[in-house]
Amino acid sequence: MLPHSQQGQGSPTFVLMHFLGGSHRTWFPTLPYLDHSHQCVALNTPGFGDAAGAEGGYDVSAMADQVDATIRGLGITRCILVGHSMTGKVAVVLAARRPDYLAGLVLVGPSPPSPQPMTDDERAQQLSYGKTRAEAEAFVDQASAHRLPDAIREVAIADAQRLNLEAWRAWVAHGSREDWSQRIAPQDLPVLLVCGADDQQVPGSEEQRRTTLAPFTNSQLKIIPGAGHLMPLQTPQALAKLMLDFARDIH
């Protein structure tokens, strides 16, 4: 079972996954807006946060396996799976298996099911990451687009320094390149995709609509103004409102 935090009560449960370099702590600014009406389980994926010591299991299918096993191990029978950035791809792959507990999907600035667009220079720069303080600061600041509040920024920097570099490099070199686009069958699972208006880390809204949302016939796309890539940390109240509205509609 993946390490996780758990709080709140109410159904469906939000099962929350983090971006590359994040952890369950990625969601701490957003949780107070969710846990009054929903149980919230925030996961650490292999190699990150409290799972930094995990060896292997870094490819998309293996991550989906471990998320599935954790949800079942916790006895969750109805949930909304939330994928952020890297784990957006993981969420889509798990949804393609049509698990019986899945009531809906929220994708926050997701990595698409197709290979994530990245130049050779960008990939080389990410592969050279050594999790120094300076590198972690630059990574967080670039991803957020607008500087995070200092206390929240420090949490994100600490996560970016704690990670397992093997897991980081596995995603950059392989996971981000995996192509699942032809393996996701059409389905009517309710899906909410949320984009940050200023997010430069993943494809924009129209490309997300054309690719990530293509298999999902019951989907909606929302844009948060003034948000970069790290919406759970940067615009928690606006993100939570979209999630709560979505959950209410499918309840």
Judged against a pLDDT cut of 70, whether residue 8 lies above it is answered with yes
Counted domains in the chain:
1
**Containing domain of residue 124, as a range?**
4-250
- For the domain that residue 70 is a member of, what is the CATH number? 3.40.50.1820
pLDDT (tens digit per residue) in 202-246: 989 999 999 999 999 999 999 999 999 999 999 999 999 999 999
The pLDDT value recorded for residue 55 is 86
pLDDT (tens digit per residue) in 45-56: 999 999 999 988
pLDDT (tens digit per residue) in 65-115: 999 999 999 999 999 999 999 999 999 999 999 999 999 999 999 999 999
The pLDDT value recorded for residue 251 is 66
If DSSP states are collapsed to H, E and C, what string results for the chain?
CCCEEEECCCCCEEEECCCCCCCHHHHCCCHHHCCCCCCEEEECCCCCHHHCCCCCCCCHHHHHHHHHHHHHHCCCCCEEEEEECHHHHHHHHHHCCCCCCEEEEEEECCCCCCCCCCCHHHHHHHHCCCCCHHHHHHHHHHHHCCCCCHHHHHHHHHHHHHCCHHHHHHHHHCHHHCCCCCCCCCECCCEEEEEECCCCCCCCHHHHHHCCCCCECCEEEEEECCCCCCHHHHCHHHHHHHHHHHHHHHC
Q: What predicted TM-score, i.e. pTM, was given to this entire model?
A: 0.97
